[in-house]
């Protein structure tokens, strides 16, 4: 078993749900979502080598009382990530993060 904790994920009671893994591709890259200490959600990519890269969609909301932010939901063999984000009006939007680099 490998424990995955995104940097900045809330780790104390009431500080967010921590790190949630959503998908893994055949190359071992993982995507998911974490909530920071303010309950704002962010996406992450964990490479097969163990490097964790966090990301936020431009325009994603940051309100702490509505759990706004970015959700990494799926990753394909090329390392492209699909997901969703809540904007500052709490409207759910979709995104596709194109990496252009198959090393993920």
Written as tens digits, the pLDDT of the chain (104 aa) is 888 888 888 776 655 578 999 999 999 999 999 998 888 899 999 999 999 999 999 989 888 777 789 999 999 998 999 999 998 888 999 999 987 543 33
Q: What was the pLDDT predicted at 10?
A: 77
Q: Which two tokens stand for residue 102?
A: 């198959």
CA angle (89, 91, 95) in 5-degree steps:
120
pLDDT in tens, 33-58: 999 888 889 999 999 999 999 999 99
Asked if 69 and 41 touch (Cβ cutoff 8 Å), the reply is yes
Contact 10, 36 (CB under 8 A): yes
């Amino acid at each position: 078993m490998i424990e995955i904790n995104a940097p900045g994920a809330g780790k104390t009671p009431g500080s967010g749900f921590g790190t949630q893994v959503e998908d893994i591709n055949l190359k071992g890259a993982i995507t998911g979502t974490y909530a920071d200490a303010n309950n704002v959600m962010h996406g992450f990519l964990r490479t097969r080598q163990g490097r964790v890269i966090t990301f936020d969609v431009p325009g994603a909301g940051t309100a702490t009382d509505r759990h706004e932010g970015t959700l990494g939901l799926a990753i394909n063999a090329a390392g492209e990530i699909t997901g969703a984000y809540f904007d500052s009006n709490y409207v759910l939007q979709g995104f596709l993060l194109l990496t252009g680099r198959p090393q993920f």
